[in-house]
Amino acid sequence: MTRKDELSPAPALTKGAEVDLDIDKLAFGGKALGRINGLVVFVAGALPGQRLRVRLTRKKAHFAEAGVIELLEQSPAYTPPRCRHFGLCGGCPWQNLAYEAQLHWKRQHVQECLEHLAGLRPEDIRPTCASPEQFYYRNKMEFTFAPRPWLPAEELAAGKNPHEAGGALGLHAPGSFQRVFDLTECHLQSSQTGDLVTAVRDRVRASGLPVYDTRRHTGFWRFLVLREGKNTGQTLAHLITTDQGDPKAVNALGAYLRERFPVITTLVHSVNAKKAQVAQGQGERALWGPGFIEERLAGRRFRISAGSFFQTNTRAAEALYDAVIRLAELTGGETVWDLYCGAGSIALCLADRARRVVGFELLEAAIQDAYANSRLNGVDNCQFLAGDLKDCLREAITSSHHRPPDVVITDPPRAGMHPQVIKALLEIAPRRIIAVSCNPATLARDLALLQERYDIAAVEPFDLFPHTAHIECVVRLERR
């Protein structure tokens, strides 16, 4: 006899439909993926191996998106999240996924991107190199002020009123730059982060000066940035305000922090009067200390100011830089070009293994930091050039002052290399290219173009951001 439910039609896959879904994998970018009758369904915050009751929130011809209604079966890879803000904060979306599973899926994302666009085989890609630390690994965190804290629906339903709390200071809720929740603990930077953020929030609320409102573009307090030297123990606090208040309030807050938190070795204040919500300011002044910290990385010392770029995970970056050095196979007589060199960290790590290193970087401030770091380490065989890379490379190619490179290092932003930069690389045709990338998709695109003259000899993924979907790669290319 046929059961009645066997004759029931499958639910229509339209927006608002509720269905049961098995999660098969984590897609590139971090969303979970399952399939219903062949239709791909993306679910934010789900894990492979879970069975869920979901509601479709978006339906397109070839895919759908859904939100979780109920967990029906837990994933074998689930692990309890450590942080009380998990789910409210977008900083660690994979904190409930076992770390070995994180490493697996990150390698899988690299493999899928490079197979599809660059034609690599799975066996060409090494296992993901784990971060030496899974928690408290970040050396920089940016915290945002907001007129009031953002509260989830359940807290609002319980009667909490965000307008009674006063100004908020914390991190952004996922998907919004205007929703800021009050952070009280964080397992990304260091154990004292929560106490320090709470203390600053309390003092700012008592200051009588309003925090910045992104809608009205009024208010005084905007950002708190904390930077740590993981290998030196030094800490820089950076307060960023508008010009719509009294700097004496910053001085008072600074005096309080100096007494309460001796771990802070220098405090900097700067002003950002622009509408763009970027945690940078102008007119930096050090309230105490030198206005910078130092860090040690791969045997070198680096000076890090409030606005400097530096790899966020110091100890994992050491492993990544070791791979760059190893794969470059320098013998001491080579000329090396370091594209997108930033403050010169890779260039300086290669300097004692090369005849000469030339760094190229868009930002003049980063070039100044690179020369300062050269002097700090007694390095005299590095030169750094500021300007748009596609123009700088063209000038360097035609200049008699620059010897053609034997090896080129590239470490572009997430958008990857400009097509004119790739064209210049193919024209220069160094013997070897070491490509460092923080985005497997744009890395695959760039590698596909470089394969006109180069073979891919090695691919090594590195996890610099545990509990997130981000993955770094180092790739060696050999000229045919």
Q: Which domains does the chain have, with CATH numbers?
A: 11-73 (2.40.50.140), 115-133+313-479 (3.40.50.150), 140-297 (2.40.50.1070)
Name beta bridge partners: 430: none
Q: What is the pLDDT of residue 400?
A: 62
Provide the percentage of residues in the chain whose pLDDT is more than 70.
Answer: 95
The pLDDT of residue 2 is above 50: no
Give Cα separations from 236 to 218, 264, 309, 381 (angstroms): 27, 6, 14, 30
pLDDT tens digits, one per residue of 371-392:
999 999 999 999 999 999 988 8
Q: What is the pLDDT of residue 1?
A: 45
The pLDDT of residue 11 is above 80: no
Q: What is the pLDDT of residue 10?
A: 52
Burial class (CB in 10 A: 0-12, 13-18, 19+), 380: exposed
Give me 310's structure tokens: 């530096």
The pLDDT of residue 82 is above 90: yes
Q: What is this structure's pTM?
A: 0.91
Taking residues 129-150, report their average pLDDT: 96
Taking residues 391-410, report their average pLDDT: 86
pLDDT tens digits, one per residue of 177-235:
789 999 999 999 999 999 999 999 999 999 999 999 999 999 999 999 999 999 999 99
Looking at 92, 341, 438, 473, which residue is catalytic? 438
User: Please, which pLDDT band fits residue 6 given cuts at 50, 70 and 90?
Assistant: very low
Q: What is the pLDDT of residue 72?
A: 98
User: Please, which pLDDT band fits residue 174 given cuts at 50, 70 and 90?
Assistant: confident
Burial class (CB in 10 A: 0-12, 13-18, 19+), 390: middle
The pLDDT of residue 314 is above 50: yes
The pLDDT of residue 61 is above 80: yes
Among 339, 330, 303, smallest CA distance to 437 is for: 339
Q: What is the pLDDT of residue 391?
A: 87
Q: What is the pLDDT of residue 118?
A: 77
pLDDT tens digits, one per residue of 253-301:
999 999 999 999 999 999 999 999 999 999 999 999 999 999 999 999 9
438 is known as an active-site residue = yes
Taking residues 234-243, report their average pLDDT: 97
| Mean pLDDT of all residues belonging to the chain | 92
Is 118:473 a contact under the CB 8 Å cutoff?
no
Q: What is the pLDDT of residue 164?
A: 60
pLDDT tens digits, one per residue of 107-126:
999 999 999 877 787 788 99
Give me 132's structure tokens: 């030496």
pLDDT tens digits, one per residue of 326-376:
999 999 999 999 999 999 999 999 999 999 999 999 988 889 999 999 999
163 vs 200, higher pLDDT: 200
pLDDT tens digits, one per residue of 83-105:
999 989 989 999 999 999 999 99
Return the minimum-mean-pLDDT range out of 2-6, 100-104, 170-174.
2-6
The pLDDT of residue 161 is above 90: no
